[in-house]
C-alpha cells in the first residue's frame, strides 16, 4: 500500500462515518466526499466501500428489509434526500454485506 492509497482509504472511511451520521439523524446535513471527482462518484465510493464488511459494523437501521429468494436479506436505506435510496444485500449465513445498489439522485458533493 502506498501513501496515496492509505490517504484515500482514510478519507473514504471518514466520509462513511459522516454518511452514517446523516442517516441516523435524518437532519439536513451537507456531506463532503473525497476531494476531486463528481458528487455521484463520491456517493458510489463511500456507500460501496461497505461491501465485504459485517452488517454489525453499521451504525444505523434500515427503513425496510426483505428476504430474497436465495435466503439472503436486502436492506433499504435512505440518505439525506427524499429521492436517494440505497440497498445492501446481506449474506444470511455470515451477515456480511455482499453487494449494493441505489435508486434516485444520490450525491455527496466534493
Could you tell me the CA-to-CA distances from 91 to 21, 40, 42, 82, 84 in Å, in that order?
24, 26, 25, 28, 23
Domain ranges of the chain: 3-104
Calpha distance 9→4 (Å, rounded)? 9
Q: Which residues contact 6 (CB under 8 A, 6 or more apart)?
A: none
Predicted pLDDT of residue 11? 55
Predicted pLDDT of residue 4? 53
Predicted pLDDT of residue 5? 54
C-alpha cell at 25: 439523524
Predicted pLDDT of residue 41? 92
Q: Which residues of the chain have pLDDT under 50?
A: 6-7, 13-33, 36
Amino acid at each position: 500500500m502506498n501513501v496515496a492509497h492509505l490517504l484515500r482509504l482514510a478519507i473514504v472511511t471518514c466520509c462513511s462515518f459522516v454518511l452514517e451520521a446523516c442517516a441516523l439523524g435524518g437532519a439536513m446535513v451537507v456531506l463532503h466526499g473525497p476531494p476531486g471527482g463528481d458528487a455521484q462518484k463520491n456517493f458510489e465510493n463511500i456507500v460501496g466501500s461497505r461491501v465485504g464488511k459485517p452488517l454489525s459494523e453499521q451504525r444505523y437501521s434500515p427503513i425496510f428489509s426483505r428476504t430474497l429468494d436465495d435466503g439472503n436479506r436486502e436492506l433499504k436505506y435512505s440518505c439525506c434526500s427524499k429521492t436517494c435510496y440505497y440497498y445492501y444485500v446481506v449474506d444470511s449465513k455470515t451477515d456480511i454485506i455482499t453487494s449494493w445498489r441505489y435508486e434516485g439522485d444520490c450525491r455527496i458533493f466534493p
